[in-house]
Chains A and B, each alone.
Chain A
Amino acid sequence: MASESISVTTSDDQTIQLSRKHAQMSQTINSMLEDSVGADQEAIPLPNVSSEVLKKVIDWCTHHENDPAPVEKVKKLNKKREYKAKNSTISDEWDKNFVNAELRVIVDILLAANYLDVKGLFELMCKHIANELKGKTPDQIRERFGIQDDLTEEDKAAMRKAWGATKNDS
């Protein structure tokens, strides 16, 4: 019987214990565990995740530990020819609170969720960033996300003309 607790080492050399259930919510850790079945459990190195961020990830896993497993989306269209639009609405109140953080933290969690392959968390962070982009002018987006403006005035004039195309699309 495998132990109920897993040790991981973060980028800042902290060793953190997490429950097997939470560990398995990360596909990355889960496959490492599967690869080392029967071997002595050593702390799993996570060189890309800091302890601060990992704690955030564990917080999210704790809240979502009883979520039903994500169903693989069937890409094929059903017979009614319906296509479900991608929805960026965050409905869970706890999640809404969770993403209410500095952009730096958000990006770190997003990268960690990607590296650890925690699907639900990754989707949540992507949705949140998408929501942050919505309804903002290019100037506001640049300011919010620290994007370097390297466009010429001609480029901008051309873009303004083009994007007026769908400005009334709600």
Chain B
Amino acid sequence: MQIPSVETVVPIEILSHVLSFLEPQHLLSFGATSRIMYELSCSSALWRQLCQQKWPTEFYNINEIQNDFGTEDDFFWKRHYIQKYLLTLQSTLSWTQISLSQSSLGSTKPSARYAHSGTVYDNKIVYIGGQMAQKSRFNDFYFYDTTTGRFTQPKISGSPPNISKHTTMEIDGTFYMFGGYDGISQRFELSAFDPVKRMWYVPQTQGETPPSRSNHASAVVGKKMYIFGGLLQQDKELVDSNDMHVLDTTTMTWSAPQCTGTIPEPRCGHKMVTIDGKIYLFGGGNGDNWANKFNDLHTFDPETNEWSKPTTIGDLVDATTFASVWAVGRFLFVFGGGRITYRGSVSNEVFAYDTVTRCWSKQSVDGKAPTERDDCTTNVVDDVVYMMHGYNSGPIDEFWSIKMCPMFYRSVHGREPMKSVIKESSTPVLTLSPSLRKMKRKICQLTMSPFQWRNSTHKS
């Protein structure tokens, strides 16, 4: 006897109640049976409940989270569950040391250094300056091509100073360097670098240029570069600052926003990253001999110019000054930096901060980890986090990477990593059938949408 098809007999709202008894792996299997079942299996309500079941402590304020994030797209909860789950697995992130001595890399490679800057441009990372000792600084520019694994040191026009403790941000193909220290004083303001023409120059700006500084932090939101804090020279004394300055690169105009909320204490050696249009500031310290070190987290909303200090939960973050900070999706990661538990020692641990649940967790990373260090650059290109050099009782010349597993990458970006697309050019990139793309039904209260996988093409 032909069994009547379940979806034609059982109303959708009853089916989704049945599905609420399923574990994630069963739900995913069920979703792989047909299009309508796939839509049902992606329901926000189901995955929200699964998040709450799996991490009850983290999702104690689930209604608040729902208000803040839950309405942003239909896949939010499923995606967040899968990413959080993957981060609990040892194999999702893995350490690899990139050999600097291989002959294929050629003889060009950056020497041991710290307090340099690393900036991503079109699958390349450009490393600028840095220092190998208190009195030895560099003005060199190294290009690392992540697709070939080669370093080059092209000739640069202009005459950049020997510099360290600066920041370099890329906006629309132009690098904006700010501040830094040349061993004599903090006297550098804004300079620019064109990575295609390989030209270093001092751009014209309007508005009041912020005072020069070193060990500040920078972040980019849209076409604007934000600078916060750092060490300033005032009346021949060095002071820690907590002022915010913005360079709007569309008009090349500086401004200092009137910040409200809980402004972070003056500090230097902190880091900033942008996640979903908000700036996250982590760590740093201030005072003579780093009297105060911070492992705290602050957020800045560029739309309202408001600072806030979220109440975080979870593990103690044993990292403060000169930690490496990067973001993937809704997660912020911290590697190394000065420990808060043992003064004067640095760390080689990785911590993950979930910006949704405001929870810190010690992150396990597969493979042999690098030794303890601080002040190494961190750049995310595609599915790899590149960590260059750093410092621990002396400059380090090691090039490390953390690779994300494809599943995690796919869940964050909704597509395959670019590089694997390039390597496996014969493999078709995941696409959804046109009929599936078109199909968008609203059934009961469940909002559903088609696949999140998108056609991925390599941008040249």
Q: State whether the Cβ of A133 lies closer than 8 Å to any Cβ in chain B.
A: yes
Which of A103, A107, A159, A169 is in CB contact (< 8 Å) with B38? A159
> What's the Cα separation between A114 and B17 when bound, in Å?
11
8 Å CB interface, B51-73 against A: 52-53, 56-57, 59-60
Size of chain B's interface in residues, with CB distance under 8 A?
Answer: 53
Q: State whether the Cβ of B49 lies closer than 8 Å to any Cβ in chain A.
A: yes
The digit string for B17-54, where 1 denotes a CB below 8 A from any CB of A, is 11111111110111111110110000000000100110
Once A110-B10, A154-B431 are accepted as A-B contacts, the answer to whether A133 and B30 lie under 8 Å apart by CB is yes
Size of chain A's interface in residues, with CB distance under 8 A?
Answer: 52
Given the complex, which residues of A lie within 8 Å of B34, measured CB to CB? 142, 147-151
Assess whether B53 is in contact with A86, with CB atoms less than 8 Å apart. yes
8 Å CB interface, B268-285 against A: none
Assess whether A150 is in contact with B82, with CB atoms less than 8 Å apart. no
Given the complex, which residues of B lie within 8 Å of A161, measured CB to CB? 406-407, 410, 430
> What's the Cα separation between A159 and B31 when bound, in Å?
8
8 Å CB interface, A113-170 against B: 114, 126-127, 129-131, 133-138, 141-142, 144-152, 154-169
Which of A107, A135, A150, A167 is in CB contact (< 8 Å) with B35? A150
Assess whether A138 is in contact with B29, with CB atoms less than 8 Å apart. yes
8 Å CB interface, A69-88 against B: 77, 81-83, 85-88
Given the complex, which residues of A lie within 8 Å of B86, measured CB to CB? 165
Assess whether B451 is in contact with A158, with CB atoms less than 8 Å apart. yes
* Residue of chain B at shortest CB distance from A139: B33
> What's the Cα separation between A69 and B456 when bound, in Å?
55
Smallest Cβ distance from B421 to chain A, in angstroms? 14
Assess whether B33 is in contact with A149, with CB atoms less than 8 Å apart. yes
8 Å CB interface, B218-261 against A: none
Q: State whether the Cβ of A111 lies closer than 8 Å to any Cβ in chain B.
A: yes
Q: Which chain B residues have a beta carbon within 8 Å of chain A's beta carbons?
A: 2-7, 9-11, 14, 17-26, 28-35, 37-38, 49, 52-53, 56-57, 59-60, 82, 85-86, 89, 406-407, 410-411, 428, 430-433, 436, 451, 453
